[in-house]
Structure 1
Amino acid sequence: MGLFGPKRIGIALGSGSARGLAHIGVLKALEAAGIRPDIVTGTSMGAIVGAMYAAGMPLEEMEALATAYDVKGLISLADIAWQRGAIIQGEKVEEFLAEHLPERFDDLKIPFGCASTDLVTGHGVKHTSGDLRRAVRASISIPVVFAPVTGDGHVLVDGYLTEPVPVLLARRLGAEVVVAVEVCGSGTVVPDDGQRDAGVVRDLIAALRGEPRQRRRGTSALEVLSASSEILERHVALPALQQADVVISPDVHTYTGYDFLAAPDIIAAGERAGRTAARAIARKARLRLP
């Protein structure tokens, strides 16, 4: 690329569980506008979407996959058993990743990286080479919900604890313009009492089934866990977002991190936000849009 030619675009897809499905919509809108990222990074759900995109999965196929799961399908991915300090052991999710992702980073079509957190050192871990599926599995391992990925003296959990929107990782991989997509909610939740592990399990199953909440927002164990994560993500993400060239914030604050059955609406929100941001990205990257 010349001195005055287009700049390399990196897109950093943030954590957010079900709200992270908005990333699919953002990518759809950007592609429709003629913008294709050269580099992708992601954390948690952003790691799944980003890895699939970097592997060359068409966005239509990704959207169909996200919206195809009904209650039974979602529960089939949750091998629930209280072991290794977590509700979900993750073997079913690992099978899902093996079905939809190549084995290694070298097999991807564009550069990709994802973030996790090492509970042994307390530091973030940046994954850019080696076992792709293991890296993504580590990046999505929400503490207490998913069993961590262990080995070689490391205990790896979700990257939202240290790098919820991996902007700096995108720059490290060579991006000259970084687009950050953050999907953290905006509500404040105050718990009214302590909840036991069994309550978390019940709440998780109810959320996957799409059952109406019986308690006011913020009082169930799962809602407390989700809201606590959101608050932490927002505070940890702020310094990285300030270093992005463009920040996209889809309007998904009315959804929780477990509203997977709302996938069509969440993806649509991402698409709207992506369309709004397209021209700003094009200006930063010196692209000419149709």
Structure 2
Amino acid sequence: MLNNIKTYCFQRSLTLFIKVSLLTTISLLASACNSLTSAAHSEPPTLAAPSVALVLGGGGTKGFAHVGVIKALEKNGIKPSLVVGTSAGSIIGSIYASGYTPARLEQLALTTTDSELMDFTLSNQGFVAGNKLKNFINTHVRQRPIEDLPIAFAAVVAEKHSLKKAVLTTGDTGLAVQASSSVPNIFIAPRIPAKVGKKYIDGGVVSLVPVDSARDLGADIVIAVDVTAPSIKNTSANSYKINLSQLRSLSSFWGLLENSIIANASASANGLSNNRSTQMRLERDRADIVIIPDVGHLSSLDSSQRQTLISAGERAANEQIPAIKRLINAKTSSKYTKLQ
């Protein structure tokens, strides 16, 4: 009997001990969870950085100024998440988006020869085939399609017959740049997709500084670079026609891009509205920041002043750095507020 009582008491004590231990453990776990939750709530949410688009306009040889703009931006810690380019801007932009540092980009700009980019041909469609340009771009982006570039990239083109704008964000990078740089009557318009698709020409026909395209792609901040003259004057297409003998006298591949004035003149001859240049200027002004390098006094046909053009782009961008930083900070604060 005594043994039974002792056994009973021992079992009761053991049960009570287990209950107390479980309650203590649960209490400690609950306290720890509350502490973790409080700590998590006390930490501010991560600031959402605004997406910054760098829009590089057409401009023939003057497009070398884009390199200087990129140098200044990166030197000040400003790296775009999207690059949109037209014509010469698509050439510089695609290589930059592929991962080139400003130093490498500048070195390439200063050392690339016209023979690496220009392949003359005899055709009723144009004087330059464009295959060298396509291959040059694909070599420097390491054969990657647009969608695989480290920085999001888009090339702006125009469908040859309808003159409808198209924004290329996937596919063959070199082919996209070739199309975006194919000045009508000078370069043979490539087909996209190759051989079977529609023909596309210089994006400068419809969007010389493609700000709206950057907005459509989701950019919070658009920094546009315009390397053309202060105003684009409508001039008769006949005054811009270039015959083969004139073409041979032009020493620069970049000069043939002629800041898309040739493209605009040709488009006007095909029935493009006379106010197209005004519309494109208004589009440029819809950017948050417009950088205009002082290159109006330099010829678009002269590629011997590449360093001068690069320096002009860098100076113009440096002047805008404070405004760009203020805008990025303001947009960052705005996004942070929305997260609260």
> TM-score normalised by the shorter chain: which range applies?
0.7 to 0.9
Mapped to 2, the partners of 1:225 and 1:180 lie a distance apart of 15
Give 1:84 shift.
4.6
**One-letter amino acid of the counterpart of residue 204, structure 1:** L
2:61/2:257 contact within 8 Å kept:
no
Aligned match of 2:53: 10
Mapped to 2, the partners of 1:226 and 1:134 lie a distance apart of 18
1:179-194 equivalences in 2 (<5 Å):
179-186=223-230
1:77-88 equivalences in 2 (<5 Å):
77-88=117-128
Give 1:225 shift.
9.6
1:139-150 equivalences in 2 (<5 Å):
139-150=180-191
Taking only the aligned residue pairs, the percentage that are identical comes to 30
Deviates more, 1:149-158 or 1:276-285: 149-158
Mapped to 2, the partners of 1:283 and 1:225 lie a distance apart of 31
Mapped to 2, the partners of 1:224 and 1:7 lie a distance apart of 34
1:164/1:236 contact within 8 Å kept:
no
1:60 maps to 2:100: no
1:13/1:43 contact within 8 Å kept:
yes
Give 1:50 shift.
1.0
- 1:60-106 CA-partner distances (Å, limit 9, x unpaired): 1111111114xxx3145322122151111112222212211233012
TM-score with structure 2 length normalisation?
A: 0.71
| Match for residue 136 of structure 2 among 77, 96, 109 | 96
Unaligned runs of 5+ in 1: 211-221
- Give me the CA root mean square deviation: 3.2
Aligned match of 1:167: 211
1:117 maps to 2:161: no
- 1:40-68 CA-partner distances (Å, limit 9, x unpaired): 11111111111111110111111111111
| Match for residue 132 of structure 1 among 173, 185, 188 | 173
| Match for residue 329 of structure 2 among 261, 286, 289 | 286
1:85/1:147 contact within 8 Å kept:
yes
Instruction: Say which SS state the counterpart of residue 228 (structure 2) adopts.
Output: coil
Give 1:30 shift.
0.8
**One-letter amino acid of the counterpart of residue 329, structure 2:** R
Cα distance change, pair 171–29 in 1 and its aligned pair in 2 (3 A): same
TM-score with structure 1 length normalisation?
A: 0.83
1:204 maps to 2:247: yes
Mapped to 2, the partners of 1:31 and 1:108 lie a distance apart of 18
Aligned match of 1:33: 76
Mapped to 2, the partners of 1:107 and 1:192 lie a distance apart of 41
- 1:100-134 CA-partner distances (Å, limit 9, x unpaired): 12330122002111100001322011101122221
**Larger relative contact order, structure 1 or 2 (CA cutoff 8 Å, min sep 6):** 1
Mapped to 2, the partners of 1:63 and 1:248 lie a distance apart of 19
Deviates more, 1:18-27 or 1:144-153: 144-153
Aligned match of 1:107: 148
Give 1:5 shift.
4.9
Deviates more, 1:237-246 or 1:17-26: 237-246
**One-letter amino acid of the counterpart of residue 130, structure 2:** G
Mapped to 1, the partners of 2:236 and 2:196 lie a distance apart of 40
Mapped to 1, the partners of 2:165 and 2:234 lie a distance apart of 28
1:9/1:39 contact within 8 Å kept:
yes
- 1:206-253 CA-partner distances (Å, limit 9, x unpaired): 33169xxxxxxxxxxx89997555788853421211211011111111
1:44/1:140 contact within 8 Å kept:
yes
1:78/1:90 contact within 8 Å kept:
yes
Cα distance change, pair 78–224 in 1 and its aligned pair in 2 (3 A): closer
Please tell me whether Structure 1 or Structure 2 has the larger radius of gyration of its CA atoms: 2
Aligned pairs, number: 273
1:40-51 equivalences in 2 (<5 Å):
40-51=83-94
**One-letter amino acid of the counterpart of residue 253, structure 1:** G
1:115/1:163 contact within 8 Å kept:
yes
**One-letter amino acid of the counterpart of residue 59, structure 1:** P
Mapped to 2, the partners of 1:200 and 1:140 lie a distance apart of 19
